[in-house]
Structure 1
Amino acid sequence: MSNPAFFERQANARRNTSLLVVLFLAAVVLISLAVCLVGYMVTRSESTSLSYLDWLLSKHGLITAGSVAGLILLVSLVRWLDLAGGGERVANMVGARLIDPSTQNQDERRFRNVVEEMAIASGVPVPQLYVMDRESSINAFVAGYTPSEAVMVITQGALNNLSRDELQGVVGHEFSHILNGDMRINIRLIAILAGILVIGQIGSFIFQSSAHRSSFSSRRDNQQAAIAMAVFGLALLVIGYVGVFFGRLIQAAVSRQRELLADASSVQFTRNPEGIASALYKIGQKGGLLRSTSHATDMNHMCFGESAKMAFSSLLASHPPIEKRIEAIQPGMLTRLKSRMRDTVPAAEIRRGADTASPSAQSSSPLASQVAGFASGGISRNLSPISRAPTPGQFSGKVGQVTRDSEQYAESLLAQLPATFRELLYTRSGAIQLCYALVTYELEPDTRQNHLELLEPHPAFRPEAHLLERFIPTLTKLGPGIRFPALELAMPALRQLAPDERELLANCVQTLVMADNRMTLFEFALTSFLKRHLSVDAGRAPGVRYRSYRPVAAHLTTLFSLMARAGTASSEEASQLYQEAIAGFCEPGDAANTMPDKVSLKALGEALRHLNGLSPLLKPAIIDACGHCVTHDGKVDATEYDIMRLVADQLDCPMPPLTTTTV
């Protein structure tokens, strides 16, 4: 059976976003009514006989209510637009520094290595990495609207104080937020709370300025007016912060469950409960409060641990207590961690919250030997295709998951990459040349040179032979299994290109692809991947347009027709496989039951664009039908891998590598 957890969480994330909008509008109405009540009480006189309801429906009442609601909506809209820059904007907002992909700092290299392993194992592009240099506390968060433009931010204290196992636990936790669609709702919560908070901020300003005026004014009339304004400001302050209280109450209720889910996912991803548990224990000892940014409270629900002190913490804390989180990971874990700390650290240091990793925590994982820098290449594994057909539902069940096979694959792949190859992926010029190499590495040298000469001699985008020569031998040796992972490793460098440079790169790649007047499935997958993840709207999450298969029946026909042909050797066999794939999506006698004679890659691109508009709960069946086609003959070859990866990527369904590792 298919494991629908990923798709259900995606659907829940969308529902939670809608619920937040409803609750926000309800808060706007209630705050507006409360402000109107204050206005009614302040302006009422003995000669006025209007009731509150009549006053509210009068010109003055409507203007007051409209002004308050408009102000709240305007502030939230401005903040919403300000955060439209996605993860990068949030990272800049808190003063984080972009980590140079080619950094030589050992802590930063270790962090990057852990993130890259998790990205390859989960099938998502490598996030942009940031560090908050001035933060000695232990914390981290991810931000963005889609995995395509996600950023991961970590504090310097986390880099300095966490072991590799603990860092891996934190990264696994944050990847759960990326995979489950939590990032989008987290950013929108910031905008929503900004609007609700503005009334309280205005009230605070009026109260303080009026109190200041009354204390320095000698005239009685001025003092009375100032006191009246101070009372009005105090009333607005109370109303504003009552709204904030309930807003943060909702924020905490939503966030707490997601944090427990992310903790559990981290254990599932890393297979090492002590890693994340020990990281949480160190946060409890050292603290995770962010002190270098004024946005710590805004970011509280986004961080690995509490980033700001909260009044009424039992109600408003965005995270469950540290002790509860550790015990939820594994009963008795907290006692073991306390005992180990007493055995290995002087009592005085424990009281000071000193941070010393225990020997057993350092050696509890096979990854412990890779504490600094890149993974070692001590174990050599060969990348091989799947040798048997997966059971029904196996493909959709892997979406959004990290399996032991995919984790081993990521470790093995990174260990096999030559240092020069990998370092080049982190540079702007190297990432560009990789794209050229992916298109041309299988060509004969003379043919490759002829194709490369078709590119315009742009200073930054011209082919560089000495760089291509460093990529081609490794691509040839490791084969098709390295192509997409290498591209994912290069994505942080490619994202640094300006919009016009991204377009120029896409045009150059398209020129190389069409140099022989034909386009292979891999070339189509490559150009589609670059277009999707480097386009101007790459960070824009697609909305749900279809809640049934009927409106997209023609596009399903296009997709399954190509998948059936890719998984068979004859037209008769392809037709039979197509019938099996389409059977669950249309009624007998529908036109969709007839396989089209041919399918263009342009039509495939259009089909995938429309299919991404389906509700998340409708996508697993499509993934499994495609998986049925490619495993028809009991194995997945390079061409089938390319098309499966393309389908999963275009449907926003991050899929772990389809290859396994064998010794």
Structure 2
Amino acid sequence: MDFFAQQAKVRRTSRRLVALFVLAVVSIVVVIDGVAGLLLGLFSQRPDLDYASDVAGVAPVTQWDWQTLLLISAVVLATILVGSLYRVLTLRGGGAAVARAMGATPVPTDTTDPVWRRLRNVIEEIAIASGVPVPDIFVMEREPGINAFAAGYTPADAAVCVTQGCLDKLTRDELQGVIAHEFSHVLNGDMRLNIRLMGLLFGILVLGIIGRVIIEASAQSTSARRSSDRNGGAAALALAGLTLLIVGYVGFFFGRLIQAAVSRSRESLADASAVQFTRQTAGIAGALKKIAALAEGSQLQAHNKQEVAHMLFGEGGGVLRLFATHPPLPERIRDLGETWDEEEVRAIGRAWAAPRRAADPDSPSASLSGFAPPQVSAAVAAAPGESAAMPHPRARRSVKAASVSAHVGQPASEDFGFAGTLHRRVPQRLVVAARQPREATAVVLALALDDDASLRAAQLTHIEALLGGDRAHDAERAIPSLAGLHPMLRLPLAALAFPSLKRGPHAELARLVQTLDALAHADHRVDLHEYCLLTLLRLQLQDVLSPPSGFVPGRRRLQDATESYATLCAIVAAHGHDDDTTARHAWSRAMAEALPGYSGQYTVPRDWQAAFDGALERLDALRPADKARVVRGLTVAVSEDDVVTVAEAELLRVICAALHCPLPPLVGEAIAGGPA
């Protein structure tokens, strides 16, 4: 199933989740109304039970009416919704907020710890292979079990969190398998669904918490008033609290069932995607076997582990099969094509119970630098992307619109291997700079500066006005370090710098967004390639500042955005081809690819930058299936007779990323005979 089909499936699942939540809330309201009716009837028949008047200063209830029913319903409904809204708001910080709630420690971008450095290298390279920003990275240092999760609303505000057990017990191949599994959740849109599910379940659970408080309060009051004849009122209040407690936890029970059902189907897909990324099953299967073999397994100690149970790589706690958020371990291992051998699992357990030698080649600490260990499988070692040679910027690649669309959000093993090459080919001085907040800002601003001296001077003036003279000087000093940077290294460098950029205060990020926008529109002379990179960085930072709050994005049909699509394709075709005739031909083919029968005329807006921004915003709101058509059309618009240069392929990747359709680095197939 491709990226767009997965997005559509998540959208359908989200709608079903909302429907089930509404059904659960209605059922809870009906039950509480029924119990309230019985209690109020009891009050009306027994005037002596005026406990409520004593504690609240109101007159005893003497009759049951619909106004009372509506009032109780409104209070219950408001309690659930406020509880859900509160939990969602506490998670507005995205994946980092979830990780911190679990007691995790952030991994600094410039960490020198060799184990944390290995983790960061693995995550950075999988992010590059996937075409998404590098997420925030966290470690649950007090968790010896093997587990991990990814959380957030969008890839820009995502966080990947692993337990200390992952770092201590997994080999590099196994760690790669686990991280690739988590990136599948990032790419398939599971994160937004998961974080919303946390909010919905908390809203239902709030009723149970309130019920428990009422019971405790009524018990204390009864103890204090033991000689009074009004204990019947306290008992009635306790009964009301007990009702809330039972209904709240029964609602939570069914919520957990929903949580488990949603999670199980997504986990199987994530396992399969991890194998697709790495071209080997041994890594992720080895991690699963260690979970089965070791006493601590994938267990978490955190008190709030059930909140994130549906996000985890493995079961976070001992639960009934009914509530299991993951398929059984033997089933997961067999689905990967590996054998489940109980004797092998016991042998793994015995081996880990014995003292481990420091030089043990299977020890996670045996080799910590780089992406692939010396003992990496032959299949991965031979992956086409692992060659050290970078394609010439003018090298040509054959592209087919359908294959490019199918590649979105679906990195193959070739991308996974080539990401290692890209990561290693970024000059070390730039990697070091990208991992420091101030230097990362300078590098990103330098990437945005134009080659034309007069335009660059105008851009530096904008930087000085918005960020200060020091930042303008830093950006200017960074320009020489970018000289000769290969076009395919621009996006990876921006991805490496992204976590450092996010570390700044929101006010500073807002000024940076404003600065990037000013640079993009400086004198309206910025090249489309630079403009697209600036736009992508600006949009990603905006996602960090204000994560999209809608439950599921993408509801618009392409038929309702035909002019936006036509405008975007016209701009891309005009800037991507040297002569007007070729550009018109590319535009016509792009329109026929996505909108057969379109009768409009080829027009490139004079103020193309504003038109480009508006078109991107409207097309980003399309349904997944229609976005797939847009990607196919853009592929045709940027290419000439189904052939693109490396630079044109990178332009396509940036535009797709701005549309939240991450495209891996290897676009198309190399054509023999091109520049070396």
Mapping for residues 208-223 of structure 1, pairs under 5 Å: 208-211=216-219, 213-214=221-222, 218-219=226-227, 221=229, 223=231
Tell me, in whole angstroms, the C-alpha distance in 2 between the residues paired with 1:420 and 1:31. Answer: 60
Cα gap change, 1:608/1:333 in structure 2, threshold over 3 Å: closer, same or farther? same
Matching residue of 1:52? none
Do the aligned residues in 2 keep the contact of 1:163 with 1:357 (CA within 8 Å)? Answer: no
SS of the aligned residue for 1:656 comes to coil
Deviation at 1:530, TM superposition (A): 1.9
| Paired residue secondary structure (1:95) | coil
The equivalent position to 1:18 in structure 2, one of 15, 18, 22, is: 15
> Does residue 303 of structure 1 match 2:309?
no
Contact residue 90 and residue 143 of structure 1 kept, 8 A: yes
Aligned with 2:351 (options 332, 345, 348):
345
Query: CA 1:336–1:436 in structure 2 vs 1: closer, same or farther (change >3 Å)?
Result: farther
Q: Could you say if the C-alpha distance between residues 92 and 338 of structure 1 is closer, same or farther in structure 2, counting changes exceeding 3 Å?
A: closer
Structure 2 counterpart of 1:129, one-letter code: I
Matches within 5 A, 1:129-278: 129-211=137-219, 213-214=221-222, 218-219=226-227, 221=229, 223-278=231-286
Call closer, same or farther: CA 1:215–1:287 in 2, change over 3 Å: farther
Partners of 1:650 and 1:334 in 2: how far apart? 46
Shift of 1:264: 0.9
Q: Distance in 1 between matches of 2:43 and 2:664?
A: 73
Residues 465 and 234 of structure 1: CA distance in aligned 2, closer, same or farther (over 3 Å): closer
3-state DSSP of counterpart to 1:613: coil
The answer to which of 618-627 and 172-181 deviates more is: 618-627
Alignment-derived partner of residue 32 in structure 1: 29
Q: 1:78 to 1:304 in 2, by over 3 A?
A: same
2:324 aligned residue (303, 312, 317): 317
- 2:531 aligned with 1:521, yes or no? no
Tell me whether 1:501 sits opposite 2:513 in the alignment: no
Relative to structure 1, is the Cα distance of residues 6 and 56 closer, same or farther in structure 2, using a 3 angstrom cutoff? farther
Alignment-mate amino acid for residue 26 of structure 1: L
CA shift, 1:129, in A, is 0.8
Number of the residue aligned with 1:368: 373
**Pair 327,596 (structure 1): closer, same or farther in 2 beyond 3 Å:** same
The aligned residue for residue 603 of structure 1 is 611
Q: TM-score, normalised by structure 1?
A: 0.87
- One-letter amino acid matched to 1:458: G
The one-letter amino acid of 1:479's match is H
Aligned partners of 1:393, 1:378: CA distance in 2, in Å?
26
- Is the contact made by 1:86 and 1:143 (CA closer than 8 Å) also made in structure 2? yes
The verdict on how the C-alpha distance between 1:325 and 1:549 changes in structure 2, with shifts beyond 3 A counting, is same
Corresponding residue number in structure 2 for 1:628:
636
Aligned CA distance change for structure 1 residues 465 and 361 (closer, same or farther; 3 Å): closer
Say if 1:639 and 1:521 are closer, same or farther in 2 by CA, change over 3 A. Answer: farther
Specify the alignment match of 1:427 in structure 2: 436
Q: 2:491 aligns with which of 484, 487, 496?
A: 484
Q: Distance between the aligned counterparts of 1:95 and 1:468, measured in 2?
A: 37
Distance 2:468 2:29 in 1: 58
Structure 2: gaps spanning 5 or more residues: 47-62, 671-675
The amino acid that maps onto 2:79 is L
Equivalence for 2:399: 390
How far off is 1:349 after superposition? 4.6
1:496 deviates by 1.2
Instruction: Tell me, in whole angstroms, the C-alpha distance in 2 between the residues paired with 1:476 and 1:339.
Output: 56
Q: Does 1:327 align with 2:334?
A: yes
Conservation of the 8 A alpha-carbon contact between 2:386 and 2:417: no
Structure 1 position 423, deviation (Å): 1.4
Residue deviations 1:49-72 (CA, integer Å, cap 9, x gap): 9xxxxx986232222222222211
1:319 partner SS:
coil
- Measured in 2, the distance between the counterparts of 1:422 and 1:46 equals 73
1:7 and 2:16 matched:
no
- 8 Å Cα contact 2:314/2:326 also seen in 1: yes
1:205/1:403 CA distance change after superposition, 3 Å: same
CA distance in 2, matches of 1:648, 1:41: 59
* Greater CA drift, 390-399 or 448-457: 448-457
- Per-residue displacement from partner, 1:160-192 (whole Å, max 9, x unpaired)? 221111111111011000001111111111111
Aligned counterpart for 1:439 among listed residues 437, 443, 448: 448
CA contact (8 A) 2:285 2:338 kept: no
* Alignment-mate amino acid for residue 498 of structure 1: P
Could you tell me which residue of structure 1 aligns to residue 58 of structure 2? none
Indicate the percent of aligned positions where both proteins have the same amino acid. 36
Q: Would the aligned equivalents of 2:516 and 2:538 in 1 still touch at CA under 8 Å?
A: no
Equivalent pair of 1:409/1:661 in contact (CA under 8 Å): no
Q: Secondary structure at the match of 1:85?
A: coil
CA pair 479-319 structure 1, distance change in 2 beyond 3 A:
same
- Shift in alpha-carbon separation, 1:639–1:545, aligned structure 2, 3 A: same
Distance 1:485 1:541, change over 3 A: farther
Structure 2 CA distance for partners of 1:337 and 1:604, relative to 1, 3 Å = farther
Distance 1:517 1:629 in 2: 22
Residues 259-268 or 324-333, more deviating: 324-333
Which amino acid is the alignment partner of residue 18 of structure 1?
A: R
Q: CA RMSD in A?
A: 3.4
Quote the Cα distance in structure 2 between the aligned partners of 1:144 and 1:246: 24
Is the contact between residue 389 and residue 632 of structure 1 (CA under 8 Å) also seen in structure 2? no
Which amino acid is 1:320 matched to?
A: P
SS in 2 for 1:129: strand
Q: 1:517 to 1:133 in 2, by over 3 A?
A: same
Answering whether residue 552 of structure 2 is matched by residue 555 of structure 1, we say no
In 2, distance between residues paired with 1:529 and 1:174? 23
User: Over residues 427-474 of structure 1, what are the superposed CA-to-partner deviations in whole Å (9 max), with x where a residue is unaligned?
Assistant: 012211112321348567x996896477428265232389626xx34x
2 CA distance for matches of 1:325 and 1:468?
Answer: 49
Answer with 205-214 or 66-75: which moved more. Answer: 205-214
Contact 2:399-2:669 within 8 A present in 1 as well: no
Deviates more, 1:206-215 or 1:145-154: 206-215
Give the match's secondary structure for 1:110.
Answer: helix
Whether the 8 Å CA contact 1:566–1:639 is kept in 2: the answer is: no
**Quick check: 1:341–1:358 contact (8 Å CA) kept in 2?**
no
Greater Cα shift, 243-252 or 447-456: 447-456
Q: Is this contact kept in 1: 2:125–2:419, CA < 8 A?
A: yes
Deviations 1:208-261 (A, max 9, x none): 444455466542635544444434333332222111111111111111110111
Q: How many residues align?
A: 635
Matches within 5 A, 1:71-90: 71-90=79-98
Cα distance, 1:298 vs structure 2: 0.8
Query: How big is the shift at 1:646?
Result: 2.9
Aligned residues of 2:222 and 2:234 also touching (Cα < 8 A): yes
The equivalent residue for 1:468 is: 478
User: In the alignment, is the contact (CA less than 8 A) between 1:383 and 1:660 conserved in 2?
Assistant: no
Cα distance, 1:86 vs. partner?
1.7
